[in-house]
Structure 1
Amino acid sequence: MTVQDLGVPAPKTVEAYDFRRPTTLAREHSRILEVGFETFARQWGTQLTAKVRVKSTVAAESLVMQSYDDYVASLPSTTSMVLCVMDGQSNSGKMVVQFPTAAALGWVARMLGGHGDKSGLERKFTPLEYALIKTLVDEALDVLSYSLGGLLTGTAHVESIQYNSQFAQAAATTDLMIAVAFSVRVGDSATGVTLAIPADALLPQLGAVNPMASHANAAGLVRDQLAHVPVDVAVRLAPAAVTPAQILNLAVGDTIPLPHPEHEPFHVAVGGKDLAQAMVVRKGSRVAARIVAVEGRSLD
C-alpha cells in the first residue's frame, strides 16, 4: 500500500528559480524554436544515414534557455565539445555541438567501413578522425541553418574541438544559451547529443511576444498574402461525357473521342474553373502555353 492509497498527496518537486537570471522562454518563442529544431533533427538523421551508411534517426528531446555555466554543469567532464564560430555574431559566444567521444569514433569507424561499436573508448581524435568529424559537423551546421531559416542570420563553421567540458570557453558563465538535447540512434546504438546556441543569436529574430498587427487594412493584407500562395494551373481540352459503363470497360488501346475542335485554343483552369485560353507553343526544349484570351477578352 502506498501513501497515495492512504489519501496522502505525493510530494511535489520544487525547482529553484533565480529572479536575477530569468531564463524562461516565452511559449510562442519556444514553439517556434521547437519546430525549427524538429526539422533539423529529421534532416540531420537523413544526412547521418548517408554518411555512416547505416539507418540513423535523430529526435529532439528538450529545449531550454539556461546560462552557459548551467549548461556545462549538465555535461560529463570528459566529452567532445565542438566549438563553432558564427559569422556576424562577434559579440556573442560560440555555438557548441557536444557528443560522447566514443559515439563519434563509432561514426568515423562506420564511415571508413569498420564496426561502429567503440563504447568505453575515450581519447583525442587523430588528425584523420578530426577531419572527418569536422566535415560531419560542418555539414550538420548547414542543415541547421536551412532548418532555422531566418532565425539564424549568420553562418557557422567549426573552430576547434575540446575534450573537457570544464575547460571549454565557448561563452561567459552567465551568458544565456538555447540548449537543445537530441537522441541520436545510429544502427543499434543510441547516444545523447546536445546543441547550445547563444540566445543573442536567436532571440532578436523571434520578434515580440504576441505581436499585434493593425487590422485597418485587413483586406489588403489578405490580398497580399493570397497573391503569394502557389496554385495548380491546368491546360486542358474540352471535357468529354462518358458513361460509367464505358469507364469500367476501359482497356489498353481504347480510344475516347474528345469534343475539342482541332484548331481551338486549350482551356487554362485553376481549381477546375476556366480562366483563360491558350495555344500550345514551344519554349526551348519545353512545351508551353501562350495565353490568347482571358475571361472572354482577346489579347490580340
Structure 2
Amino acid sequence: MSQTLTQPAEREVRPYDFRRPTTLAREHSRVLELAFATFARQWGTQLTAKVRVLSQVTCEQVTMHTYDEYAAALPSSTAMVLCSISDVDSRGVIQLPTGAALRWVNAMLGGNRPLPLLDRTFTPIEHALVVGLMNDALEDLQYSLGPLFTNSVRIDAIQYNSQFAQAAPTSELMIVARFAARVGEDVAEATIALPARILLERLVETNPTVEVDNAKQLLHAQLAQVPVEVSARLASANVTPASVLGMAVGDVIRLPHPVSRPIQVAAGGEPVGTAAIGAAGSRLAVVVTTAEDNH
C-alpha cells in the first residue's frame, strides 16, 4: 500500500515594525466594530431605498494596515471613491467593484435584467448617480461613527486603478472596514479606509485603554487570582518494577519519611512550605508550619 506524504504548508512571513504597530487595542477594535456594524445596517437601508431592490450590508472585518498594504490587496481594476477629510492631508476611500456599482445604477434607472460583469469607467450620468449613492453613504458613516469622526468630508474623485489612486502616503496607517453588500441576488465586497490617526486620537479620548505603567503590579494581581493545585507530599520511596507488578491489596509500602518530620506542601509541583497532618471536621487536612518566601 502506497502512502502519500503531504508537504507542510508554507508560512507567510511579514516584517513587523515595532515603531509603527498595526494592531488595534481590543477595546478600540470593539468600538470600531460596533460603529461599522451600525453603518452597515444604515447603508443597507439606504441602498434599498435608492436602488429599489432589497439590500443588506454586513461588516465582516475591521483591521489596521498601511495604505500600501491596503491598496495591494485590492483588485487592480475597481472603483475607488476618494474623499477629502478636513484637517488632514490624507484622504479616505470607499472602494467597490465597478461592475457592482453599474448594476446598482442599472436598477436605479429601472433596469430589470441582470447586467453581465462589466469592467469599465462610468459615463457622466453613471458617475453622478454613483456619487449620489456615496454621499448618502458618507452621511451614514459620520452618523454611525459619531464623535469618532466629526471632520467634514466630501468626494473628490473616482479612480479606477487601485495602484494609481494615491489617497495617502504608502506608510500611512489606515483603519480598513470590509463589507459584504447584497443587492438583490448580487453580492459584492466593498471596503472603507480612513486615516487611523483621526479615529485613534478620539478613541483614546473617549475609550482610554488600560495604562501599562504598572504592568508588573497588574500581572501579579491577575496571577494571584489564578487557581493552582496544592498538594501535601511525603518523601518518596524507590521500589523495583517487580514490586509494583506484584502489588496486592493489603501490601505495605515503607516510606522513608519519619513520623516527626513535616510533610512538604507544593503548589503546581513547586515546594512552598511544610505542614503537619491534621483534621478539619470529618476531613483530613494539613496545618501549615512553615512557608517559603517566594517574593
For the residues of structure 1 that align with 2:177 and 2:16, how far apart are their CA atoms?
21
In structure 1, give the amino acid aligned to 2:163. Answer: Q
For the residues of structure 2 that align with 1:155 and 1:211, how far apart are their CA atoms?
32
TM-score under structure 2 length normalisation: 0.65
1:145 CA displacement: 0.3
For the residues of structure 2 that align with 1:116 and 1:35, how far apart are their CA atoms?
36
Corresponding residue of 1:41: 40
User: Does 150-159 or 35-44 show the bigger shift?
Assistant: 150-159
Q: 1:112 to 1:200 in 2, by over 3 A?
A: same
After the TM superposition, list the runs of 4 or more consecutive aligned residues in structure 1 that deviate by more than 2 angstroms.
Answer: 10-17, 115-120
Tell me which structure has the larger Cα radius of gyration. Answer: 2
In structure 2, give the amino acid aligned to 1:90. Answer: V
Q: Over the residues paired in the alignment, what is the CA RMSD in angstroms?
A: 2.3
Corresponding residue of 2:209: 209
1:118 CA displacement: 2.9
Corresponding residue of 2:109: 112
After superposition, where does 1:154-165 map in structure 2 within 5 Å?
154-165=151-162
Unaligned stretches of 5+ residues in structure 1: 213-300
TM-score under structure 1 length normalisation: 0.64
Whether 1:99 and 2:88 are equivalent positions in the alignment is no
1:200 CA displacement: 1.4
1:18 CA displacement: 0.6
Q: 1:43 to 1:63 in 2, by over 3 A?
A: same
Corresponding residue of 1:197: 194
For the residues of structure 2 that align with 1:25 and 1:16, how far apart are their CA atoms?
18
In structure 1, give the amino acid aligned to 2:210. Answer: N
Aligned partner of residue 48 in structure 1, secondary structure: helix
Corresponding residue of 1:239: none
Contact kept, 8 Å, 1:107 with 1:116, in 2: the verdict is no
In structure 2, give the amino acid aligned to 1:198. Answer: P
Corresponding residue of 2:169: 172
In structure 2, give the amino acid aligned to 1:16. Answer: R
1:211 CA displacement: 6.7
For the residues of structure 2 that align with 1:58 and 1:15, how far apart are their CA atoms?
33
Aligned partner of residue 141 in structure 1, secondary structure: helix
After superposition, where does 1:221-236 map in structure 2 within 5 Å?
none
Count of matched residue pairs: 206
For the residues of structure 1 that align with 2:52 and 2:82, how far apart are their CA atoms?
26
User: Does 12-21 or 34-43 show the bigger shift?
Assistant: 12-21
Unaligned stretches of 5+ residues in structure 2: 213-295
For the residues of structure 2 that align with 1:190 and 1:144, how far apart are their CA atoms?
20
1:157 CA displacement: 1.6
Corresponding residue of 1:186: 183
